[in-house]
Amino acid sequence: MDLLDPNAYAAVRKPLLEAETLPPACYTSREFYQRELSNIFLKCWNLIGRAEYVKKPGDYFTLSLVGVSLIIMRGDDGRIRAFINSCRHRGAKLLEGEGHCKAIRCPYHSWLYSTRGDLRASNGMQDTRNFDPSGFGLTEVKLDVWSGFLFVNLDSESVSLWEYLGDLDSYTQSYEFETMVTVKRKDFTVRTNWKSYIENSMENFHLPTVHQGTIGGVKAQWIPIDGAPGNYVLLQSRTTASRATLGGDAAFDRIATLRGPAAEGAQYILIYPCSVIGADLDCMWFKQMIPDGPDTVRYSAGFCFPRASVERPDFEEVVQSYHKRFDLVISEDNGISEVQLQGLSNPFSHAGRFSSMEPLVHTIDNWILDRVVGPLPMQQRTAAE
């Protein structure tokens, strides 16, 4: 089977209850993964953190996005920018980790860049002919902020973040994510394919099995929403109580500003390709994920609360109930995702079928196929007629 031939996916393109799942090779093949990098990760907006991580001018952090090392820095003009982490002289990597600086000094020959990325001092270049320092500032990458979340796009031709997200705001505005405080961050490495992980995040079918000891018994009405043409899907869980602590554990007050569906339960959001936000009645968490090969996902999870909760004198005590619930549920999801990839890697594994409880898995897989291999040639012809 040619994994990059759109005709190979006719069965995945059928309506949900007639469709097959993606063939197992899509989760294990290096060729398919390379195409995902070039057509998805190097073209889409990727979540890389929160604006509050760089509060003051000169604050920075670094990260690697599918092999591209980036510096995220707040400039002395207050703007947050993303730079390629490589000196414009002979390419040395400039910064590691996170911290604060007045200027970026290259560790190799001491070229000096401002916090806005301009080349300020180009040591040793006085005799070099036709050298114009203004053309040797750090290479900037598109960065934009949505609701306190930082996103970068490595494609300079991409649509704006606002266009990319479509009408997502209509579901999320009343949480006021931008005013929330990230109280804890935790990094994970999971031996699974990134698609398995986001599929798992957007279906409730596995809850009674995988989460039977934690959140599996909570009764809820589930409403799947495809955000197209916005690049997101959303799963609403209508419940009266927050799902962010385990039954009976101490909890904070509801977020005072919630309106509409946000006030009627939890909403789980996938912003393609793999940024997941869980918004509940009293808190919010997110996972900014990035694949590292077809068989590994790395992610940083952040846990956020309204300032009013964080300022309560009993915050540290009550927040333990939330951390306990998150740690347990995350380890259950990480575990089952690894088990799934082990099975999909079996050379005798086959494509499966979908339950009516997995509509967003089907939606996600078709979004990925649209970008990796393009539409079925027959569908293209019908659309043109």
State the residues that interact with ligand FES by CB under 6 A. 87, 89-92, 106, 108-109, 111
In the complex with ligand FES, the residue whose CB is nearer, 90 or 102, is 90
Could you give the CA distance from residue 150 to residue 286 in angstroms, rounded to a whole number? 12
Asked whether 235 and 222 are in contact (CB, 8 A), the reply is yes
- Residue 373 Cβ, how far from Fe ion at the closest point, in Å? 28
Q: Which does 106 bind (CB under 5 to 8 A by kind): Fe ion, ligand FES, none?
A: ligand FES
Cβ-based neighbours of 54, under 8 Å, separated by 6 or more = 60, 61, 72, 73, 74, 80
Smallest separation, CB 205 to Fe ion (Å): 10
Shorter beta-carbon distance to ligand FES: residue 37 or 103: 103
Which of ligand FES, Fe ion, none does residue 108 bind (CB under 5 to 8 Å by kind)?
A: ligand FES
Nearer to ligand FES, 89 or 254 (CB): 89
Alpha-carbon torsion (150, 151, 156, 157), positive or negative: negative
Q: Which does 333 bind (CB under 5 to 8 A by kind): Fe ion, ligand FES, none?
A: Fe ion
Token pair belonging to 327: 């740690």
Residue 151 interacts with, from Fe ion, ligand FES, none (CB under 5-8 Å by kind) = none
Q: Cβ(343)–Cβ(192) under 8 Å?
A: no
162 binds, among ligand FES, Fe ion, none (CB under 5 to 8 A by kind): none
Shortest Å distance, C-beta 104 to ligand FES:
10
- Minimum CB distance to ligand FES, residue 15 (Å): 56
What does the DSSP 8-state code read for residue 261? G
Interface residues with Fe ion (CB under 5 A) are 333
Q: Which long-range contacts (CB under 8 A, 24 or more apart) does 32-35 make?
A: 32/3, 32/4, 32/294, 32/372, 33/291, 33/293, 33/294, 35/4, 35/372, 35/373
Sign of the torsion angle spanned by Cα atoms 235, 205, 45, 191: positive
In the complex, minimum distance from the CB of residue 138 to ligand FES, in angstroms, rounded to a whole number: 11
Q: Which amino acid is at 65?
A: L
Query: Smaller CB distance to ligand FES: residue 68 or 125?
Result: 125
Q: How far is the CB of 167 from Fe ion (least distance, A)?
A: 26
109 binds, among ligand FES, Fe ion, none (CB under 5 to 8 A by kind): ligand FES
Query: Shortest gap between Cβ of 141 and ligand FES (angstroms)?
Result: 19
Under DSSP, is residue 209 helix (H, G, I), strand (E, B) or coil? helix
* Bridge partners, residue 266, by sequence: 237
26 binds, among ligand FES, Fe ion, none (CB under 5 to 8 A by kind): none
Q: Of the two residues 72 and 106, which places its CB atom closer to ligand FES in the complex?
A: 106
Please say which residue, 122 or 193, places its beta carbon nearer to ligand FES.
122
CB of 147 to ligand FES, least distance (A): 36
CA distances from 305 to 120, 174, 186 (A): 40, 14, 16
- The CB-of-82 to ligand FES minimum distance in angstroms stands at 19
Residue 295 contact partner, candidates ligand FES, Fe ion, none, CB within 5 to 8 A by sort of partner: none
Count Cα atoms within 13 angstroms, Cβ side, for 227. 23
Query: Which partner from the list ligand FES, Fe ion, none does 343 bind, CB cut-off 5 to 8 Å by kind?
Result: none
295, two tokens: 């068989």
Q: Nearer Cβ to ligand FES, position 109 or 323?
A: 109
**Which residue, 191 or 259, has its beta carbon nearer to Fe ion?**
191
Cβ atoms of residues 282 and 309 within 8 Å: yes
- DSSP annotation of 106 reads P
